[in-house]
Amino acid sequence: MGPSAHPARAQPPLAAIVGPTASGKSALALALADRLPIEILVADSRQIYRGMDVGTAKPSAVDRARVPHHLLDMVAPDAAFTVADWVQRAREAVHDVAQRGRLPLVVGGTGLYVSALVDGFAFERQPWSPEVRRRLAAELETDGLAPLVARLATLDPPTAARIDRANPRRVLRALERAELTGGPAAPTAEAYRGRVALLGLARPRELLARRIDERAAALFAAGLLDEVRRLQAAGYGPELGPMTGHGYREAARLLAGDCSRDEAVATTARRTRQYAKRQLTWFRRDLRIAWIPAGELPADDPRIVARAADLLRALLG
């Protein structure tokens, strides 16, 4: 994207590292901080929740001390939080980082967040109703997903066409909003008015699958079960949307005695691989992304870091 046609209203340069989970985005961003004056804006729809650290692979205290991170730990797991909320906070963070003379670097795999920030597809604040959510969840349990998808297609055809209709959580959330507002969400088409550089790390699919399998096992070894116990003790039950994420649902089932540890790890890995496939589909559609072939190299390999730094300088001017 080029500079705005209205220089006085132009926003500061913005960079992003996107791609599927386990591709090495965070490691590359940390390594780039040794070459460029950056601060990291995390674009992850699960890392926004407080207390959900292990299962979301949230940056460690050491990493946060090394490079400032923003947009982490913003709300409790049972709080309502929309794409519009994230975009508002992200744009505030972009401004603050730029005011300090540093480059805002968005890092994450939640494609909707990145698109909403860059292209202006931020939806108006969406209503939230525990009562409606419980009723829809009960309907899902009784009647299955198909009738809910059909109702969403009637109430909000654009959303029904856009979202993953095989994902019960996304269907329930979209239908809840549609029922409460009576129709489609109204997008605000305010695109980011500054130079933007989008980078991605390209990995062989087999390697990415192997890294995901290793990460799934590492989550359970790193204390995911203890984290889920603490969350449940604090009142955050398995019915909450964030607690159905890959790893959390399986950990809850393991704690309840509904599966073995091996089954929990294997299911977490399988669901994460499916998620990574959806992420790749999303990001491959954006022809602005400059993909860096990483092969089997670590993301912080000097050759990859140098290539990323050179691309950012060239794209941002």
For residues 43-67, average pLDDT: 96
Instruction: List the one residue out of 124, 126, 99, 121 whose CA is nearest residue 110.
Output: 121
Average pLDDT over residues 214-222: 97
How confident is residue 271, by pLDDT bands cut at 50, 70 and 90?
very high
Nearest-angstrom CA–CA distance, 231 and 228: 5
Q: State the pLDDT at residue 7.
A: 39
pLDDT of residue 129: 67
- For all residues of the chain together, what is the average pLDDT? 89
pLDDT at res. 210: 97
Q: Which pair of structure tokens corresponds to residue 173?
A: 């959330």
Q: What are the residue boundaries of the structural domains of the chain, listed by start?
A: 7-124+188-316, 130-184
Q: Going by DSSP bridges, is the β-strand pair 122-123/187-188 parallel, antiparallel, or unpaired?
A: antiparallel
**pLDDT band at residue 164 under the 50/70/90 scheme:** confident
For residue 258, pLDDT beyond 50:
yes
CA-CA-CA-CA dihedral for 141, 144, 148, 150, to nearest 10 = -170
Question: Tokens at residue 185, please?
Answer: 């969400």
List for the chain the helix, strand, coil content (%; round to 5).
50, 10, 35
- How far, in Å, CA of 147 to CA of 14, rounded? 42
Of residues 25 and 156, which shows the higher confidence score? 25
Instruction: Look at residues 17, 68, 23, 69 and name the one whose alpha carbon lies nearest to residue 48.
Output: 69
Model confidence pLDDT, tens digit, residues 96-107? 999 999 999 999
pTM for the structure as a whole: 0.79
- Give dist(CA 13, CA 192) in Å, integer: 10
pLDDT higher than threshold 60 for residue 189:
no
Question: Of the segments 2-16, 114-128, 283-297, which one has the largest average pLDDT value?
Answer: 283-297
* Euclidean distance between CA atoms 192 and 267, whole angstroms: 38
CA distance 311 to 317: 10
Please name the residues in contact with 43: beta carbons below 8 A apart, sequence gap of 6 or more.
16, 18, 71, 86, 90, 106, 107, 108, 109, 110, 113, 114, 117
Planar angle of CA 166, 169, 172, nearest 5 degrees: 95
Mean pLDDT to the nearest integer, 14-22: 96
CATH of 7-124+188-316, one of 3.40.50.2300, 3.40.50.1820, 3.40.50.300, 1.10.150.20: 3.40.50.300
Report pLDDT for 217.
Answer: 97
Distance, in Å, from the CA atom of 79 to the CA atom of 48, rounded to the nearest integer, reads 10
- Residue 107, C-beta contacts closer than 8 angstroms, at least 6 positions apart: 16, 17, 25, 26, 29, 40, 41, 42, 43
Query: What is the strand order of the sheet 69-70 is part of?
Result: 69-70, 38-42, 103-107, 14-18, 196-202, 290-293
Cα separation, 38 vs 300, whole angstroms? 16
| Each residue's pLDDT tens digit, 108-152 | 999 989 988 998 864 544 556 667 777 888 788 778 888 899 888
- For residue 185, the model assigns a pLDDT of 56
- Contact residues for 293 (Cβ-Cβ < 8 A; gap 6+): 202
CA angle at 164 for the pair 108 and 239, rounded to the nearest 5°: 80
